[in-house]
Amino acid sequence: MESQRRRPPAEQAAEVGEALTLEQVQTVLRRAVQLEQRKHVPDAAGPSREELTRIALEAGLSPEAVEEAMRELQVGSLGSEQKQDLLDRLVGPASATSARVIDRPPAIAKSELHRILRLDRVAGEET
């Protein structure tokens, strides 16, 4: 009897007409983008924000997840992964960046940030 090696869910073959898992959708879309980039100019215009949202919703993603990902892209926290050179892989990158998208009007977010920084400064003086 032939032994069958189990593949990760994203690599398992899907039957025609069968619903795909989100992991499989991600894998297929990532690969399609790679294949498309071989044929076209790397920074060629892609779909609009509205078209991408429609495609994502049709793929079964929630509107909330799509909107949050769009906000993260807008503030620059998506797509900022840079290729690591040998030194980065051996000793780690020279810096790290962290970002968080919050659902607050800018004035309120600024006020809350100033309050947190004041508390941090006071706590730093006490130690």
pTM of the complete model? 0.48
Q: How many CB atoms lie within 10 A of CB 114?
A: 10
List pLDDT tens digits, range 102-122.
888 999 999 999 999 999 888
Residues of the chain above pLDDT 90, percent: 13
Residue 9 has pLDDT above 70, yes or no: no
Q: For residue 36, what are the CA distances in angstroms to 30, 32, 33, 40, 44? A: 10, 6, 5, 6, 11
Query: Tens digit of pLDDT for each residue in 46-99?
Result: 788 899 899 888 888 899 999 888 888 888 777 655 566 777 777 777 777 777
